[in-house]
Structure 1
Amino acid sequence: MEMVFSDMFPESRIQYPVIFARLIGAIILGGIIGFEREAQNHAAGLRTHILVSLAAALFGIISIESVHMPGFADDQQVRIDPLRVIEAVTAGVAFLAAGMIVFSRGRVMGLTTGAGMWLSGAIGLAMGFGYWPVAFFATAAAVCVLFALGKMEERLERDPAKHLPPKDGAKP
């Protein structure tokens, strides 16, 4: 039974409470961006952004831990490159985000939501690698961009006549 428990809780480079805190941080920060998308009634909302951020954080943690695993420590056996994890997460989330982008009736839709998912992945990686300040700053910046610039876009769309060129050479 002791072998089972030692296998379930292997020695870790990062202490387990820190790992769990990073994962919770990824959930919260991904959720903040997802909440804004949900409030705007977009398809990829709260749950999607949380899952993307959580998965990316987990990949980051696993990549850190795998570099220090006893079976991978010998230079003769395996070389582990944590940058490949970043590349894989970037490609995987970009694939999901691309699925959100739709061209309909002459308009591109879902581009901002896709970009938000991609950013949630990056924030999750930052949390997974332990860069809390970077993850918090990126989340705050994302919310500012999504909320403040979203409000500005709404105002511009409410009065489209202000932004159209004058007809027949008349002045506006």
Structure 2
Amino acid sequence: MASLDLMELNIRLLSAVVIGTVIGSERQMKGQAAGLRTNILVCLAACIITIIQVLSSQEVVALALQNEALQSVLSTDFTRITAQIVSGIGFIGAGTILVTKNNKVAGLTSAASLWSVAGLGIAVGMGYYYLAFTGCSIIYIVLSVLKKIFESKKTIKLTVYFKGPKDFKNKLSQLFEGMGMDILKMDFREEYNAKGDTINCFTYRAQVSDKLNLNDVSNKLVDFDESISYVKVDNL
């Protein structure tokens, strides 16, 4: 473990800021509540608390070595304070987790990233630079790259009312394919309006990206063809 002179302290604090910036910038670009400043502060604070733990433990050890009579009385634990960071960060993480009106849990990734950043701050505070920066790189890859590879999807119910031939579904299929929609099921039925006119209705069950705005889907369909009279989109 390197001696904690002024230069070493500055290196550790700066490293914590750099790591917090890397992870926080990714969260900031995704529009998450726990963004750049939050991640920097969490990483820096974890680093500072860990440094305090290291300094206090070193002082106890030095004091015991200088006074043999105190060796049986003095004791220290290099992990006691840092252990409280691991549990304490849970309160901040819990504040980023929300349950939406659709009973969908949001914010779990932000909570996990805060917990991870705190761990990186502890590593820097202890002087484990290789562990801290390697861990930072892996976490950044997980947050930025894996999201694109394993993009989460949601299931929707799409109802399209139109006046026209039944083969209109072929045009709709091309539109859905261009929007990245995976059609799971399709039903067709005929309905009648107050004037007795026949209105065709397609009901689709489809999987779409979580990023897809359902209002955009509805607007694109209405603007797609003048024969479409009404569109309804629901989350399942």
Q: TM-score normalised by the shorter chain: which range applies?
A: 0.7 to 0.9
Which TM-score applies when normalising by structure 1? Answer: 0.80
Q: Indicate whether 1:32 and 2:53 are aligned.
A: no
Structure 1 moving runs of 4+ over 4 Å? 153-158
**Local SS of the residue matching 1:69:** helix
CA distance, structure 2, for counterparts of residue 19 and residue 141 of structure 1: 25
Calculate percent identity across the aligned residue pairs: 33
One-letter code aligned to 2:40: I
Partner of residue 7, structure 2: 17
Please report how far the alpha carbon of residue 79 of structure 1 lies from its aligned counterpart in structure 2 after TM superposition: 2.3
Q: Report the structure, 1 or 2, having the larger helix content.
A: 1
* Greater RCO, 1 or 2 (C-alpha within 8 Å, sep 6+): 1
Q: How does 1:58-73 map to 2 (within 5 A)?
A: 58-69=48-59, 73=64
Counterpart Cα distance in 1 of 2:106 and 2:74: 44
Structure 1 position 127 matched with structure 2 position 124: yes
Unaligned stretches of 5+ in structure 2? 65-69, 155-178, 188-205, 207-236
Match among 28, 31, 41 for residue 41 of structure 1? 31
Task: Say if 1:100 and 1:110, in contact at 8 Å, map to a contact too.
Answer: yes
Contact 2:22 2:140 in 1 (8 A): yes
Structure ID, larger Rg: 2
1:21-170 pair list within 5 angstroms: 21-69=11-59, 73=64, 74-104=70-100, 105-154=102-151, 159=180, 161=182, 166=185
Q: Bigger shift: 102-111 or 65-74?
A: 65-74
| TM-score normalized by the length of structure 2 | 0.60
CA distance in 1, matches of 2:47, 2:20: 10
Gaps of 5+ in 1: 1-12
Corresponding letter in the other structure for 2:32: H
Q: How many equivalent residue pairs?
A: 156
- Structure 1 residues 87, 155: closer, same or farther in 2, change over 3 A? closer
